[in-house]
Chain A
C-alpha cells in the first residue's frame, strides 16, 4: 500500500514554480485520503531557505539534494539524482509538474525505472488505493481516464489546473548527499534572458494576438496584459511572420495553456490554435469577422476592431 507520495519540485529564478505548489497541494489531498505521508524533493545548490517553505504546503518531509552540481537544471544529472531517490524510497506515487523540465525529467526517470508515467494530468481519483488519472488527448478533443501500472505510479500535472492550498505539514528537512554523476551531453554555452515576463503556461491571464495585429507592434496587448498581471501569447501566424518569438506561440505546435482568462485578439480560431487554449476557464474572442471560428469557443465575443476594443478594455480596467 502507498505509504509515501513524492513530489518532485522545480525551482526557477530562486523560487518554486507555482506548479510545484499545485502538485504539493494535490499530493496532500491524495496523501490524506490514503493515510500516506507527503515528501517534497528539492534539487539545487544552497536552497535550504526555499526548501523550508514547503512545509506550509503540506510536506511532511523535505528531501534536499543540495549540491553545486545541481545549481542549474541538467537533464542527466537531475535524472540520476531523482531516479536514485525514487529507487531508494519506492514511493507509491510520484508527481511532477508538466513544465518543459518536468516533462523531460519525468520521462527520463520513468525510462530509468521502467515505471508507468501518465503526463499532463488534470485530475486524479483513488481506486483501491491506486491512482487513476484523467488527461486531455488529441488536442483537447477528448479526455482520457487512464490506469498507471506498476508499484511506482508516476504522473505529471498540467499547470493552472489544481488549486494551491496552504496546509501545514511536519516539514522535516532531510539533507541528502547525492552524486549527480556524469552526463553524456556537454553544455558549451547557455543564453538565458532573465525576463520579468510571466511564464506563459503559468500565467493566470493571457492576451494573445494573431495576424489581425498587422505587424510586430503588440503594445496594445502588452498594456492590457500588464494591467491584468498576465502574459502575451501569439498565434502561429504571428510567430511565423516574425512578430513574436516562438516561445510565445500557443497551440498544437506551441504551448498548451489554461489560464483563468484567455483573450484572443485578431486570431481566427483555427483548430491548431484552439488545441492550445481550449482548457482556459474563460475565453474572450475579439475579431472583426462575425463568422470567425474563435467565437465558437469563446465565452464572450466582441465583433469589432481590436485596435479600438483592446485599449478601451485596458482603460476600463484602470478606471
Chain B
C-alpha cells in the first residue's frame, strides 16, 4: 500500500522573524526552518503503519524552495522511502505568493500520477495557520477527508479513525483512498540521529518544477494565488509589563485585582 505524507517546512517557532524588503514576505536569509510539527505526527504515523505491515511504501510530497531539501533529509532519516519535491524557487515572487490554493493544485497534480491509498497531512501549518491545503487536496482528488485524527486503523480497504470533534470524539470510517489530518496526540514522533540525517544526504530526491508536472507557472504564483499577501507588519508592541509589588502574596493579589478593575477595566 502506498502512503503519501504531505510535509511542509516552516520557520522554526523559536527563531525571531524579519520582514523582507518588499514587505509581503519574511526575510528568508537568517531564518531557521523546521518540519511543520503536525507533519511530524503525519510522518510518524505513516512509519508506524509501515512497521506493522510488509507492503507499505511511504512517499513524502513537499512543495517549497531549495531549502526544503533539509526537511527531506530529516524525513529520510526518520525512515520514509521516497521524496517528491516540487521546487517553486525559480522566481522569488512566485514563492512569496504561493497560497493554499496554488500549493494544493500542485500536490493534486502530482498525485494524479503517483499511486496512493492513504494521504496523511497535518492539521495545520503553524506558519500560515491556513487549515486549507488538506481540504483543497481531498476536494480536488475527490476522496474522503477525516480531520483531526487521534488514532487510526486500516481494515482491508477501509480506514477507521477516532477523530476529535467539538466536545468529544467520533469514530468514523471511510474507504481508501482517503486523506486524514494528524492531530497532536496521534503519536510521539521519533527524532532521527544527526548521523542518520547526514547519511540521508545521499538519498535521491525526485525534484521537479511545476512545468514538469504539467502546470503553467503563470497559473501559480502571483496570478494563481487566491489569497494574496499585500503587506506584513509587526504587531504593535506590548508596553512593558508592570511588576506588582507587595509585602505578601495576599497584598500582591489584592493590588492585581484593583488594577484589573480600575486600570485595565477587564473585570
The answer to whether A253 and B38 touch across the interface, beta carbons within 8 angstroms, is yes
Q: Residue B194 at the A interface, CB < 8 A?
A: no
Interface size on A, residues (CB 8 A): 88
Contact flag A275-B13 (CB < 8 Å), given A138-B127, A246-B184: yes
Q: Residue B22 at the A interface, CB < 8 A?
A: no
The answer to whether A247 and B171 touch across the interface, beta carbons within 8 angstroms, is no
The answer to whether B170 and A190 touch across the interface, beta carbons within 8 angstroms, is yes
Docked complex: A209-250 residues within 8 A CB-CB of B: 228, 246-247, 249
Contact flag A144-B241 (CB < 8 Å), given A184-B174, A188-B160, A272-B13: no
The answer to whether A150 and B168 touch across the interface, beta carbons within 8 angstroms, is no
Give the chain A neighbours of B168 by CB distance below 8 A.
190-193
The answer to whether A295 and B241 touch across the interface, beta carbons within 8 angstroms, is yes
Give the chain A neighbours of B264 by CB distance below 8 A.
261, 281-282, 299-300
Give the chain A neighbours of B154 by CB distance below 8 A.
none
Q: Residue A285 at the B interface, CB < 8 A?
A: yes
The answer to whether A300 and B171 touch across the interface, beta carbons within 8 angstroms, is no
Taken together as a complex, chains A and B put the C-alpha atoms of A281 and B267 apart, in Å, by 12
Taken together as a complex, chains A and B put the C-alpha atoms of A269 and B54 apart, in Å, by 44
Contact flag A185-B131 (CB < 8 Å), given A141-B17, A143-B233, A300-B242: no
Contact flag A110-B136 (CB < 8 Å), given A139-B126, A254-B184: yes
Taken together as a complex, chains A and B put the C-alpha atoms of A184 and B124 apart, in Å, by 22
Taken together as a complex, chains A and B put the C-alpha atoms of A199 and B10 apart, in Å, by 29
The answer to whether A112 and B13 touch across the interface, beta carbons within 8 angstroms, is no
Contact flag A138-B249 (CB < 8 Å), given A100-B148, A146-B230, A301-B241: no
Closest chain B residue, CB of each to CB of A245: B185
The answer to whether B228 and A146 touch across the interface, beta carbons within 8 angstroms, is yes
Of the listed residues B14, B148, B243, the one surrounded by the most CB atoms of chain A closer than 10 A to its CB is B243
Docked complex: A58-87 residues within 8 A CB-CB of B: 73, 75
Going nearest first, the 9 A-B pairs with the smallest beta carbon separation are A111-B139, A116-B226, A312-B253, A107-B135, A308-B249, A184-B144, A192-B168, A316-B257, A298-B241
Residues on B close to A: CB < 8 A?
Answer: 11, 13-14, 16-17, 19, 26, 37-38, 100-101, 104, 126-132, 134-136, 138-140, 143-148, 160, 164-175, 183-185, 225-235, 238-239, 241-244, 249-250, 252-254, 256-257, 259-260, 264, 266-267
New A-B contacts (19) at CB < 8 Å, excluding given A111-B104, A111-B135, A192-B165: A73-B166, A75-B147, A101-B166, A111-B138, A112-B139, A115-B226, A139-B126, A141-B16, A148-B226, A149-B226, A184-B144, A191-B170, A254-B184, A300-B260, A302-B244, A302-B256, A312-B253, A315-B250, A317-B257
